[in-house]
């Protein structure tokens, strides 16, 4: 069998995409469970622990519940967009995952060396940003099409918030791009493998020093904050502020359509975590990856899990912003800070690269 024939490659890519989808969805499912359990821990409760051992089957029970619930479509809703919105949301969220490199080049039996990335191309980072920006349509359309004031308010808030913070998010990444000189995520990660030359032993232990986070601390902080806002998570969860807007843009959604929004949110959480890992925390890099490439996959997963935990942790501890505070913070602090970061990075890059 000729592995290099385009058809085979396409087929393999399809296979990889499907596997990735399944894996991501599984991770999302267990993130939900983890969130509930951890929140419960933080709040001194138990959380779901009855379905399966310690609640391991709880996500599937939830899924079953969503599937079996009644599909309610509001009478005054604009049906086409009402149905389209969740599809856009979940599609845009899922489409980014094909570009993330989740491991170094490994030697697989039968296949030989394989890059652990589904698609590697020149503009991967732009692709991610583009998909993220398309995702906002899902929320806006959902809010508008539901024909409900809570939905509309939530949708407007969400879209305003996402437009605003998308700017800071994009700009915070420019620093990394300047340092790396490429938009290809795989190259970005590879560049974080061995930035400094120490002695072999030190190289092993001090490998994290090569990560971009040490070159771009300000960029990382801005990215982190913007990413939380981008995913509408606490403390930026204005669009779905229960006390004000019932449930925001998806107030009128039920059953599987709600599940899609729900999943989209967690997929988004996952993708921004992956992006943070890839761009700032060295991706699959870590001590020992040079020797045992497979180790990289676990580093990668570990870092993602750290970020996911961070999200949950924040949700359990922080209060919510007010809307004007949110806007002020985004436009008057984050954006100037991101621009400052770009200026400093560009200057440094000009002189040292």
**151 vs 207, which CB is nearer to other proteins?**
151
**100 vs 127, which CB is nearer to other proteins?**
127
- The least distance separating other proteins from the CB of residue 166, rounded to whole angstroms, comes to 8
- The least distance separating other proteins from the CB of residue 120, rounded to whole angstroms, comes to 12
- The least distance separating other proteins from the CB of residue 4, rounded to whole angstroms, comes to 14
**30 vs 137, which CB is nearer to other proteins?**
137
SS3 for the chain is: CCCCCHHHHHHHHHHHHHHHHHHHHHHHHHHHHHHHHHHHHHCCCCCCCCCCHHHCCHHHHHHHHHHHCCCCCCCCCCHHHHHHHHHHHHHHHHHHHHHCCCEEEEEECCCEEEEECCCCCCCHHHHHHHHHHHHHHHHHHHHHHCCCHHHHHHHHHHHHHHHHHHHHHHHHHHHHHHHHCCCCHHHHHHHCCCCCCCCHHHHHHCHHHHCHHHHCHHHHHHHHHHHHHHCCCCCCCHHHCHHHHCCHHHCCCCHHHHHHHHHHHHHHHHHHHHHHHHHHCCCCCCCCCCCCCCHHHHHHHHHHHHHHHHHHHHHHHCCCCCHHHHHHHHHHHHHHHHHHHHHHHHHHHHHHC
**112 vs 181, which CB is nearer to other proteins?**
181
Contact positions vs other proteins (CB under 8 A): 6, 81, 84, 121-123, 126-127, 129-134, 136-137, 140-141, 143-144, 147, 149, 152-153, 155-156, 159-160, 163, 166, 182-183, 324
**33 vs 92, which CB is nearer to other proteins?**
92
- The least distance separating other proteins from the CB of residue 129, rounded to whole angstroms, comes to 6
- The least distance separating other proteins from the CB of residue 61, rounded to whole angstroms, comes to 36
- The least distance separating other proteins from the CB of residue 134, rounded to whole angstroms, comes to 6
**117 vs 281, which CB is nearer to other proteins?**
117
């Amino acid at each position: 069998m000729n592995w290099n024939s385009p058809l085979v490659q396409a087929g393999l890519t399809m296979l990889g995409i499907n596997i990735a989808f399944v894996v991501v969805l599984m991770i999302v499912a267990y993130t939900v469970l983890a969130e509930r359990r951890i929140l419960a821990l933080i709040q001194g409760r138990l959380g779901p622990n009855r379905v399966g051992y310690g609640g391991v089957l709880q996500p599937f029970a939830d899924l079953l519940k969503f599937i079996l619930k009644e599909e309610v479509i509001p009478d005054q809703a604009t049906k086409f967009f009402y149905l389209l919105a969740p599809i856009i949301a979940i599609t845009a969220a899922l489409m980014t995952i094909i570009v993330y490199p989740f491991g170094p080049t490994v030697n697989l039996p039968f296949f030989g060396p394989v890059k652990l990335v589904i698609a590697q191309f020149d503009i991967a980072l732009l692709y991610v940003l583009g998909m993220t920006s398309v995702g906002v349509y899902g929320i806006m359309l959902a809010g508008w099409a539901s024909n409900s004031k809570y939905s509309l308010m939530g949708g407007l808030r969400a879209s305003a918030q996402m437009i605003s913070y998308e700017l800071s998010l994009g700009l915070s990444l420019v620093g990394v791009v300047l340092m790396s000189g490429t938009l290809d995520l795989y190259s970005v990660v590879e560049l974080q493998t061995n930035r400094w030359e120490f002695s072999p032993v030190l190289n092993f232990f001090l490998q994290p020093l090569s990560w971009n986070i040490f070159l771009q601390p300000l960029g990382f902080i801005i990215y982190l904050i913007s990413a939380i806002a981008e995913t509408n998570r606490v403390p930026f969860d204005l669009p779905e502020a229960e006390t004000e807007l019932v449930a925001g843009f998806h107030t009128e959604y039920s059953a599987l359509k709600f599940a899609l929004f729900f999943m989209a949110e967690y997929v988004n959480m996952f993708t921004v975590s992956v992006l943070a890992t890839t761009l700032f925390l060295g991706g699959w890099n870590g001590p020992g990856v040079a020797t045992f490439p497979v180790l990289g996959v676990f580093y990668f997963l570990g870092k993602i899990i750290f970020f996911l935990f961070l999200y949950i942790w924040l949700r359990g501890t922080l209060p919510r912003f007010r809307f004007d505070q949110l806007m002020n913070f985004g436009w008057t602090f984050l954006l100037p800070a991101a621009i400052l970061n770009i200026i400093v990075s560009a200057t440094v890059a000009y002189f040292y690269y």
